Chains A and B, each alone.
Chain A
Amino acid sequence: MRYEIRVDGQMSETLAKVFPELDHVLMAGQTVLFGRVIDEAHLFGLLSRFRALGLRVVEMRQLPE
């Protein structure tokens, strides 16, 4: 499964390294992380890591293969 997750605010390069499994691009006031997500457990793990880092998820969607 490929996912795209948008979080509020532009992440620093340092913080982006907490998600080595995802690529990211900075947009206007947002960061878009994207890449392969192994399964649901991985997805929920990612969500809780965003939560733990004080990042606000504003959008999350599965990408077509």
Chain B
Amino acid sequence: MAVATKKPSVLSKSALAKVDQIIARHKDQPGPLLPVLHALQAEFKYLPEEALVRVAIGLDIPLSKIYGVASFYTLFNLRPKAEHVIRACESAPCHVRGAKEVIEALENALGVKVGEDTRDGRFTLELSSCIGVCGVAPAIMIDDEVFGNLTPDMVPGILARFN
């Protein structure tokens, strides 16, 4: 199945006003950047380029630095994602407990490669750094939900819960 990557759209006037509100809300707290980025993502599901430029102006932080932070954390989306985002942990504990096979099972079940969206816009498949549940490795997150102690044959059943 081919990829359907959504193109970022230009923000409406009301969306830009929303961005300014978010900046104003966090501007005066120490270390405002991460809270602002979280709030933007909660609002738009990703971090639109125009919004980040407004953050640069509003917080007086260089745009290059803001993008450096936004791109450093895998939990920030830099483009619009599908309805559900699957994050498969690729850290060492998950790796030695069979993450590779689980990721292959995800790719087969979804018909996409890592980094791609399913054509129907239901799932984005991504890799993630450690999600902090090494005790139940290998693990994945779908949106905010964690699934651990996985084997490849469990994958279709888990995906079915989101259909």
Is B one of A's binding partners? no
Q: Which residues of A contact B (CB under 8 A)?
A: none
Interface set of B (CB-CB < 8 Å, partner A): none
